[in-house]
Structure 1
Amino acid sequence: MLVKSPFGPVKLLTPLFSSSGLEDAQFFQVVDTIRANDLFRRMRREKSIEFIVPEAQHSKVVAIYKNLKYKWKKIHPNYGDKSPKEIFHLYRRFKQDRNHFFGRFGFIISENYQIKLKYPPDVSIMPSAIRTFIDEPHSVFMPMNLWEGILSTNEWNSKGLVIEALEETIHPLYGVWSPTNQEFLGLFKKYLDGVELQGTAIDLGCGTGVLGFMLAKKGMQVFGVDSLFQAAKCTNLNAQKLELDVNAVHDDANKVDLPMCDVIVCNPPWIPVSKKTALDSGVYDPDESLLKAAFMQTKKLNAKGKLLLFYSNFASKIGLQKENRIEELCQSHQMKIANRLELPFPYTTDTDHPLKKFKDSSHIYLYEIIRDL
């Protein structure tokens, strides 16, 4: 959406006031000497978009943003005696409100990717990051919450993210879910160390490509598929750097015409609810789309082929999914579980998370699924 900011026309990277419109929104100019308390109160009170002036120093703006986040942490929904499923949806709405709040505080980046602040950092991934939101070059309003993610990804992209189970370093792209929590990769390594694999593998929903890379290191030829263009690009770039036989395409996992193969590996998002933003793709799997695609594509497995599926029981614990859902899908596709490895869900350090006890008692599973002959 194009808006007339105090500094000229800019595009919004995320929707703001989408239900009530921008007609009566107020545009404020923010200096880097503003007190976070005053800004927080105004943003809570007014229907505003807060444009940081180009004369502001980047470091001071970051400090203001951190103070705003600290103040927001003191806000908590009232969950009362709600069920875990109801709490999930209330908490998700609360996080959406939080993202919308921080999405209203930002600065301008010009159409040639110049950061309109004093002493900004060097962000090499800026052009590709912005292109995940808009197709044509244009001045944009960069919210601080998106900026925080871009800075993190830029650091991973420049320094690399060490993948211990792979014994290699990968370079994630912005908007692609990155395996910063790597316990499940250790589970995959444990499985791979105990089996002999050869032939062709498909990495369905490949993301950064790590699972496919681990199969390629076992000597398999790997094809990756992802519905996100940036993910397929990320997999191909990293495969080239690592000199591994992995090639990825941008396509729908439910529609892509796969070759016959010996292994399908898939790590779909473990929560089957709708997506609200583009960045939800790595967190939510609406209507179990990728999970169902993994089973649907088992028709392309050779006679002794196998589906290697990562999944968690967290969604079933909070009432968002049937228990024994994987067993149910196996039965409907004439498949069976030949082996299952598991490990505890990564411990939740966020003591304020309303579903902490359910997360901490959940497990991650690696299912080895074969034809039920």
Structure 2
Amino acid sequence: MTSPATITWPEADGPRTARWRSEAAVPPPRRVVVADDRTTADSAYRLACEGTALLWNGDFQNARQLLQAVTRRLERKPRKHGETPIDAFNLHRQAQSQRARTLGMILIPLDAAYAIPLRRAPEVQQACIETYGPSTDEPSVVSLRELLGLIGAHEWRKKGVEIPALGERIHPHYGVFSPVRGEYVDLVAHTPLPSLNKAFDIGTGTGVLAALLAKRGVKKIVATDQDPRALACARENLTRLGYDQQVDVVRADLFPEGRAPLVICNPPWVPARPASPIEYAIYDSESRMLLGFLDGLAEHLSPGGEGWLIMSDFAEHLGLRTREWLLAAIEKAGLTVVGREDIRPRHPKSTDENDALHTARKAEMTSLWRLKAR
């Protein structure tokens, strides 16, 4: 078993070491200085850009203000514009990566019980337990940016996300993609079902589509995922909604055993490398999940059954994939398209003209491809 990463920083009485926590698997900073309420935003910004982390030893709320000040300085930097959509995408991802590195340089200590030993610090124990698991009885250090993400995820988990098609709320866990984009849910809610007997939901995530199929009357659903957090999240949501008798949640890389008259999948829609756990729902390096679903679909469909591939064409408008490539992959897998339902996006970025990828977002369409084995 690999030992947890550690971080070391200087103190007046000698170096200190603690466990380093990063859900994105970011390595611990090599250079660390202790900062407090006397640290200026300009100084913090300069150090962070140089790759020096600041371990905060002052008022917690002042640390939040410092993070906001560093963010504003980053936003003032001139943005590079690509000549082509794919150039714009690559520059956007590069800027996102640099932004994450810089903002991740403000660090917060946690004691052995996940309490923050700083003035005016919030209670974060439950948020940490939900993300990191039970306390290991050792102090640790985490970036303030990640810690705020934990707190936000904890609040989302408590409140849930309203799903109009369900008439209920879905409660996402940390690291599990929240169903805030309702277009794909609406497609599944309104497309005629080929059968009410059985369905497979591949890559279930929060369990929202499995719940929707159960609400629509499908008698037996097998929902799969390989992420332990997603499996726990889906089980919790389906139990809360009263669908746990209709839906079996199983760990699998794509398909469960057997066949079904309906097999649905909403894979990541951008063929690029994810940079954090939550991005696995959006970015899929070399289209691994998409191709895995297409290549295995025919042998998991009952005779006459349908596979529903729910995909945004955002990658096509970025120049990362072509429609011809997708159609060729469908044909190569021994499948044929028997129908397609389309819907325009409603998320705020689709109308934000200041977004770096606005041209592609404006043209985006989400589709439910109805596929059958040839």
Relative to the length of structure 2, the TM-score reads: 0.88
What residue number does 2:354 align with? 352
What residue number does 2:54 align with? 50
Q: CA deviation at 1:371?
A: 2.3
Q: CA deviation at 1:17?
A: 6.7
- CA distance change for structure 1 residues 316 and 28 in 2, over 3 Å: closer, same or farther? same
Q: Which of residues 4, 18, 28 is equivalent to 2:8?
A: 4
Contact 1:206–1:235, Cα closer than 8 Å, also in 2: yes
Q: Structure 2 matches for 1:28-177, cutoff 5 A?
A: 28-44=33-49, 46-53=50-57, 55-57=58-60, 59-79=61-81, 81=83, 83-123=84-124, 124-131=126-133, 138-177=138-177
Contact 1:207–1:226, Cα closer than 8 Å, also in 2: yes
Q: Which runs of 4+ in 1 moved over 4 A?
A: 14-18, 134-138
> Helix, strand or coil: the match of 1:235?
helix
Distance 1:116 1:350 in 2: 40
Q: For structure 1, list consecutive stretches of 5 or more residues without a partner in the other structure.
A: none
Contact 1:16–1:103, Cα closer than 8 Å, also in 2: no
Distance 1:341 1:50 in 2: 51
Q: CA deviation at 1:350?
A: 4.4
What residue number does 2:214 align with? 216
User: Identity of counterpart residues, as a percentage?
Assistant: 22
Distance 1:297 1:80 in 2: 37
1:130 partner amino acid: Y
How far does the alpha carbon of each residue in 1:208-235 deviate from its partner, in whole angstroms, 9 at most, with x for none?
A: 0101110111222111111211001100
What residue number does 1:288 align with? 287
What residue number does 1:275 align with? 274
Q: For structure 2, list consecutive stretches of 5 or more residues without a partner in the other structure.
A: 11-15
Contact 2:112–2:135, Cα closer than 8 Å, also in 1: no
Q: CA deviation at 1:136?
A: 5.8
2:282 partner amino acid: V
Q: CA deviation at 1:257?
A: 4.3
What residue number does 1:184 align with? 184
Query: Which stretch of the first structure deviates more once superposed, 173-182 or 9-18?
Result: 9-18
Contact 1:11–1:138, Cα closer than 8 Å, also in 2: no
1:178 partner amino acid: S
Q: How many residues align?
A: 357
Q: Which fold has the larger relative contact order, with Cα–Cα distance below 8 Å and residues 6 or more apart in sequence?
A: 2
Relative to the length of structure 1, the TM-score reads: 0.88
> Helix, strand or coil: the match of 1:320?
coil
Distance 1:113 1:17 in 2: 20
> Helix, strand or coil: the match of 2:269?
coil
What residue number does 2:242 align with? 243
1:363 partner amino acid: M
Contact 1:173–1:234, Cα closer than 8 Å, also in 2: yes
